[in-house]
A and B are shown apart, each in its own frame.
Chain A
Amino acid sequence: MKAPWTIRDLVDFDYFLYRDEEADGEELRQRDRAFYTGLEDLPDERSTLFHRWVRFRGEAEDATPGEAFAECFSILKIAFPLAGCLSGAALAIGLLHYRGTVAVNVSSYVGVLVVLQLLLLLALLATLLYRRRTLGSGIPTAYPLLSRAVFRGSARIWRGSLRKLGGSQAGKLQSGLGELRLKNALYGRVIYQQVFQLAQAFGVLFNLGALGMTLLRVTTGDLAFGWQSTVFSPETVHRIGRSLALPWRWLWGEGVGYPSLEQVAGSKMILKEGMQDLATSDLRSWLLFLCLCLAVYGFLPRLALWIYAACRQARSLRCLSFTHAAGERLYRRMTTPMLESAGTSPDGDPHTFPLPDASPTPHPPSPGSPGNSTLLLVPEELAGELEADPLVRMVEQRIGRSVSRTCWYTAGRQGLENLDMEPHETVTLYQEAWQPPIRETLTFIKQLRQRLAPETALVILLNGRARPGESFAPLRDIDRSTWTQVTRQLADPYLDIAEAVTP
């Protein structure tokens, strides 16, 4: 069974991973490996495994940003529908103002509650379509202001709970806050969906409020509806009403579901003549029409959008693959056995290094990940310098995947075209770190990504400048930071960099 991920878990997951970036690599490996080997039944889904890990990490914390988000949303989940309901009702009261001398104006009621709502709805759909077209797989954000407010509100709650914790811990945790950014592809999407759903809940309750208030006014008081126009003839108004009633015409026909021509003509108000001459039944004939308009054009679409948002969110939470770079790293930490060999290195230091394939592991290989092998890409010009065997061994050791094939590619246009790749296979790109990341190289990486399925991991394996007779070397700090910074600018959560030699 898949684990029940929530927004709170997701935000925390990201937060913990962020904090791990700062921490000491060896300690992390020990912690996560111990967690993994300590599991009694190994889940065969990566998402379940990670879900347990989040819970495990959460136990050690007094406050997490996930809680802040959850709290923020739980407030909004009450506040939004309530506000929608109240504002709908208030608007209806305003529109149905009737003193017995002048009838309620049908056109303003329809204009505000139906036409305006329909326009808003169309605008929403248009932005959704537009964003989806331009952002591709990105997250469509229909409510940027609202989303930002949610993030700010959550951040404030989070800071509040930090202040309660006080002291050193607060300082330590605070640094995690800056990273909770809107752009985060992992939880960002789910949060946007939640915000979207909130907005729809507002809309649903707004319409219910307006409808309820209309009915209340009708049942508890005397209402008369009429219309005014110097331009439109009663025939035109009748035709408009008839068209609007299209969805329910088959059920409630002319005279019931919408006013007939005589009723329309009979409810036309001419101010200087007053209302005395108008028949009461004509004045009432509008009532059912108006209520149906509101229900069909206001309430139902919002309800549909609300259901759609709920489904989308449930699906997003169900389909998290966790194959992004930080997830890969965590997974590697968990599944790679720790090997300690004391005194084997020439300088006598006990060394710890991962050897995933050398020791038999009882755990199933890579649950939930799309295959456990990688395609290795190496520039062709290095064929003379690098021996295939040690290279493959190094890659397997460092990446924690077996190398299915090694491709020696040439730089330039055909280089990429000639590559034969599977879109779902992880790719490891061998790169000399001392070469500055020029535009051409970044373009190549981007094009590589386009050939791959969006959530397939792409690892850039950096090697330092080796001494003669050796093949691999640690990176210089400046090269590491240069490559880290540049790849970060690509904003690809499934792109990771790894190093040929442990720093």
Chain B
Amino acid sequence: MSAVLKFAVVGHPNEGKSSVVSTLAEDDTVPVSAFPGETVRCASYPVKIDGEEIIDFIDTPGFQNPVQMKEWMQAHGEDGEALMQAFIAAHKDQPDYHHDVELLRPIAEGAGIIYIVDGSRPVRAPDRAEMEILRDTGRTRMAIINSKEADAAHLDEWKLAFSQHFNAYRVFNAHHASYRERIDLLESLKGVNPDWQPVMERVIETYKHDWQMRTEHAADILAELLDKNMTCQQEKRVASQREARELQPKMLEAFRAKLSKNERRAHRRIRKLFKHTLFKTALDEAGILQEDLFSKQTWHLLGLERNQLVAASAIAGAASGLGMDALMAGSSLGLWAAGGAAIGAASAFFGGERAAHSIGKSRFGIGRLLGGSKVQVGPVHNPQFYFILLDRGLLYVDSIIHWAHGRRSEGVLLSSESGEKKGYVSGFSEEARRCCSQHMKALRKGNRQELEARRAAVQAMLVEVIQACSRR
């Protein structure tokens, strides 16, 4: 089928037309505003498969004169396309009717109708007029109830009205619709008009496929981040022990920055994968993800519980000889503050063990080499770090896929008074946790083949987690 299937998304001003288009088309550049009358022209948001435009959602301005429009149309006494053309011809030069003419245009040109209403408010005369106008266009039309508020008192009123004027209706929330609900909406569109069926089927198939691909890709990005950050290390040659000691705080700082940067880069890739461009700024306003990777809050809320961590460490064979408190607290010991005690803690955190192997008793990670010394930071051997990275990654994916493109406000907030963990990993099954620990162990050992296998296992496990998350 070559003709592009067009849907005009119409309705009263400020009901969320642009938001629905934004969410459906996964495009957060659609202008949305709390002030009515933001959209003044029709704008088209096509869905393409392999570069070929298949369907097209058209965002339209809202009805400005529904009652007068209806009166005019009823007095005119024509029907369908002729009626619309007559209305457009008669009003196209009247500034007051600019929006009404604009929104009618795509319908007159054959687009199907998606009518948006806010189901949390009562039905009023202008709404009835709009529904009658749309009915008189004779086009296939479906209504979407986009309830801005929880109030369900008026839903029956709306449903009754829709059953009189529309081929179908469904509930769809522009701010909270998940991938699932998007698919469901497309499924209903498929059912409304038999002509649309083949195209819609193709679109839905492609959507599902694409989603699976994105899920796998996201899991891959996360696993790669774990690989990178758990093996990351930095070293520098120095002439003397004194110089080494002076250099150490700086190197710790640089190392920390490097780990954070890797994480940020991975998150950015995930964001792009799910086609969000504005999301980051919104996310940055609030929420645990806005916290630094090494902040006290992060280590407090994310990662494994104490007993889980003990088990994980045992499997990973990591951090033997380090106190559990040091592992759990992470930066709360003042990891990044300058000063002797902090440096001591830091060296325990960042590969103190290996440093201890190579340079005997030194806890500073400074090794003697021929012709000088070297300062070495990393790799991190604290298993909690692995889980915190993973937790943050999953939280990020979670908020990204549940962040409808039509929604334009603040991000996820987590808080914990009781000291309980709030992230994903503390809720993992034992098997999943074991899978992670073995990955960690392979990372430490550096056996390539084993590492590949462990990583694949973790990635498969993550795909499942993300799939479950997007079904929610």
**Measured between alpha carbons, how far is A443 from B95 in the docked complex, in Å?**
12
**Measured between alpha carbons, how far is A135 from B122 in the docked complex, in Å?**
41
B65 in contact (CB, < 8 A)? yes
A26 in contact (CB, < 8 A)? no
Binds A, one of B24-32, B66-74, B246-254: B66-74
Across the interface, A440 reaches (CB within 8 A) one of B34, B36, B68, B121, namely B68
Q: Do residues A440 and B71 form an inter-chain contact, with CB atoms below 8 A?
A: no
B242 in contact (CB, < 8 A)? no
Q: Do residues A440 and B124 form an inter-chain contact, with CB atoms below 8 A?
A: no
**Measured between alpha carbons, how far is A412 from B124 in the docked complex, in Å?**
13
B14 in contact (CB, < 8 A)? yes
Q: Is the interface of B mostly helix, strand, loop or mixed?
A: loop
Binds B, one of A165-173, A290-298, A338-346, A431-439: A431-439
B125 in contact (CB, < 8 A)? yes
CB-defined interface of B14-40 with A at 8 Å, one 1/0 digit per residue? 100000000000000000001111000
**Measured between alpha carbons, how far is A410 from B68 in the docked complex, in Å?**
12
Given contacts A379-B125, A381-B125, contact A439 B64 (CB under 8 A): yes
A411 in contact (CB, < 8 A)? yes
Q: Do residues A438 and B121 form an inter-chain contact, with CB atoms below 8 A?
A: no
**Measured between alpha carbons, how far is A381 from B128 in the docked complex, in Å?**
12
A468 in contact (CB, < 8 A)? yes
Given contacts A381-B125, A434-B121, contact A440 B37 (CB under 8 A): no
**Measured between alpha carbons, how far is A292 from B170 in the docked complex, in Å?**
88
Across the interface, B124 reaches (CB within 8 A) one of A435, A437, A439, A481, namely A435
Q: How many residues of A contact B (CB 8 A)?
A: 21
Q: Which residues of B contact A439 (CB under 8 A)?
A: 64-65, 96-97, 99
Within 8 A of B (CB), among A414-467: 432, 434-440, 443, 465
Q: How many residues of B contact A (CB 8 A)?
A: 24
Q: Which residues of B contact A465 (CB under 8 A)?
A: 121
Q: Do residues B125 and A411 form an inter-chain contact, with CB atoms below 8 A?
A: yes
B82 in contact (CB, < 8 A)? no
**Measured between alpha carbons, how far is A436 from B11 in the docked complex, in Å?**
12
Across the interface, B126 reaches (CB within 8 A) one of A434, A438, A478, namely A438
**Measured between alpha carbons, how far is A437 from B36 in the docked complex, in Å?**
8
Within 8 A of A (CB), among B123-155: 124-126, 153
Q: Do residues B67 and A436 form an inter-chain contact, with CB atoms below 8 A?
A: no
Q: Do residues B65 and A482 form an inter-chain contact, with CB atoms below 8 A?
A: no
A413 in contact (CB, < 8 A)? yes
Q: Do residues B62 and A438 form an inter-chain contact, with CB atoms below 8 A?
A: yes
Give chain B nearest CB distance to A321 CB in angstroms: 31
Q: Do residues A413 and B12 form an inter-chain contact, with CB atoms below 8 A?
A: no
Q: Which residues of B contact A412 (CB under 8 A)?
A: 67-68, 71, 125
Q: Do residues A440 and B64 form an inter-chain contact, with CB atoms below 8 A?
A: yes
Q: Which residues of B contact A440 (CB under 8 A)?
A: 64-68, 126
Give chain A nearest CB distance to B471 CB in angstroms: 34
Give chain A nearest CB distance to B284 CB in angstroms: 24
Of all chain A residues, the one with the shortest Cβ separation from B64 is A439
Given contacts A381-B124, A411-B126, contact A436 B68 (CB under 8 A): no
CB-defined interface of A22-59 with B at 8 Å, one 1/0 digit per residue? 00000000000000000000000000000000000000
B112 in contact (CB, < 8 A)? no
Q: Which residues of B contact A436 (CB under 8 A)?
A: 12-14, 36-37, 62
Q: Which residues of A contact B115 (CB under 8 A)?
A: none
Q: Do residues A411 and B96 form an inter-chain contact, with CB atoms below 8 A?
A: no
CB-defined interface of B38-76 with A at 8 Å, one 1/0 digit per residue? 000000000000000000000000111111100100000
**Measured between alpha carbons, how far is A481 from B36 in the docked complex, in Å?**
11
Of all chain B residues, the one with the shortest Cβ separation from A413 is B71
Within 8 A of B (CB), among A182-229: none
**Measured between alpha carbons, how far is A372 from B221 in the docked complex, in Å?**
73
Give chain A nearest CB distance to B288 CB in angstroms: 29
**Measured between alpha carbons, how far is A481 from B33 in the docked complex, in Å?**
13
Q: Do residues B14 and A443 form an inter-chain contact, with CB atoms below 8 A?
A: no
**Measured between alpha carbons, how far is A411 from B66 in the docked complex, in Å?**
10
CB-defined interface of A461-500 with B at 8 Å, one 1/0 digit per residue? 0000100100000000010011000000000000000000
Give chain A nearest CB distance to B81 CB in angstroms: 25
Q: Which residues of A contact B66 (CB under 8 A)?
A: 438, 440
Q: Do residues B124 and A438 form an inter-chain contact, with CB atoms below 8 A?
A: no
Given contacts A439-B65, A440-B68, contact A478 B34 (CB under 8 A): yes
**Measured between alpha carbons, how far is A437 from B121 in the docked complex, in Å?**
16
Within 8 A of B (CB), among A362-382: 379, 381
Of all chain A residues, the one with the shortest Cβ separation from B34 is A478
Q: Which residues of A contact B14 (CB under 8 A)?
A: 436
Give chain A nearest CB distance to B274 CB in angstroms: 29
Q: Which residues of A contact B68 (CB under 8 A)?
A: 412-413, 440, 443
CB-defined interface of B196-217 with A at 8 Å, one 1/0 digit per residue? 0000000000000000000000
Q: Which residues of B contact A482 (CB under 8 A)?
A: 35-36
Q: Which residues of B contact A411 (CB under 8 A)?
A: 67, 125-126
Q: Which residues of B contact A385 (CB under 8 A)?
A: 122
**Measured between alpha carbons, how far is A437 from B34 in the docked complex, in Å?**
13
Task: Name A's B-contacting residues (CB within 8 A).
Answer: 379, 381, 385, 410-413, 432, 434-440, 443, 465, 468, 478, 481-482
Known: A381-B124, A385-B122, A412-B125. 18 other contacts (CB 8 A): A379-B125, A381-B125, A411-B126, A412-B67, A412-B68, A432-B124, A434-B121, A436-B62, A438-B12, A438-B36, A438-B62, A439-B96, A439-B99, A440-B126, A443-B68, A468-B153, A478-B35, A482-B36
Nearest first, the 8 closest Cβ-Cβ pairs linking A and B are: A436-B36, A439-B64, A440-B65, A436-B13, A411-B125, A412-B67, A411-B67, A436-B14
Interchain Cβ contacts under 8 Å between A and B, 7 examples: A410-B125, A436-B14, A438-B64, A438-B66, A440-B67, A465-B121, A481-B35
